[in-house]
């Protein structure tokens, strides 16, 4: 089970990122636990300055924009 967090205060890019991860996970049959982190204090705990950011486990794997589909697919094969 992958624990994934999407960091971002509810902007449209953050929502798109959340949806993309959800879609790709469903497609690949990956079991994930997806969480939105919207509180600024919690976002800053990961030191992410440009949202949306994506955290897998406790590592920041992406920041500043919607990741590409290929990038998201790689996350699910790497782990």
Partner 1 sequence: MLTRYRWPLYILLLIIWVVLYSSLVGFADFMVSMLPVEPTSHFGEALAFFFYDAPKVLLLLSAVVFMMGVINTWFTPERTRALLSGRSLGLANILAASLGVVTPFCSCSAVPLFIGFVQAGVPLGVTFSFLIAAPMVNEIALTLLFGLFGWKIALLYLGLGLGVAIFGGLLLGRLNLEKYLEQWVQDIPKKRPEFKSEKISFSQRLTAGSVAVIDVVGRVWIYILIGIGVGAFIHGYVPENFMASFMGKDAWWSVPLAVIIGIPMYSSAAGIIPVVQALLAKGAALGTALAFMMSVVALSLPEMIILRKVLTLRLISIFVSIVASGILLVGFIFNLVL
Strand ranges inside 1-79, DSSP E: 2-7, 32-37, 53-56, 59-63
In the complex, what is the shortest distance from the CB of residue 29 to partner 1, in angstroms, rounded to a whole number?
26
Strand ranges inside 2-66, DSSP E: 2-7, 32-37, 53-56, 59-63
User: Which member of 2, 13, 15, 74 binds partner 1 (CB under 8 A)?
Assistant: 13
Burial category of 43 from C-beta neighbours within 10 Å (exposed 0-12, middle 13-18, buried 19 and up): buried
- Which CB atom, from 41 or from 59, has the smaller least distance to partner 1? 41
If one asks whether residue 56 binds partner 1 (CB under 8 A), the answer comes out as no
| Cα radius of gyration rounded to whole Å, the chain | 11
Touching partner 1, residues 16-45 (CB under 8 A)? 40-41, 43-44
User: Which member of 4, 24, 32, 48 binds partner 1 (CB under 8 A)?
Assistant: 48
Residues within the interface to partner 1 (CB under 8 A): 8-9, 11, 13, 40-41, 43-44, 47-51, 64-65, 68
């Amino acid at each position: 089970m992958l624990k994934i967090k999407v960091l971002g205060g509810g902007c449209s890019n953050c929502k798109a990122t959340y949806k993309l991860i959800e879609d790709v996970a469903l497609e690949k049959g990956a079991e994930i636990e997806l969480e939105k982190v919207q509180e600024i204090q919690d976002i800053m705990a990961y030191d992410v300055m440009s949202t949306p950011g994506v955290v897998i486990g406790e590592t920041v794997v992406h920041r500043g924009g919607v990741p590409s589909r290929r990038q998201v697919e790689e996350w699910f094969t790497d782990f």
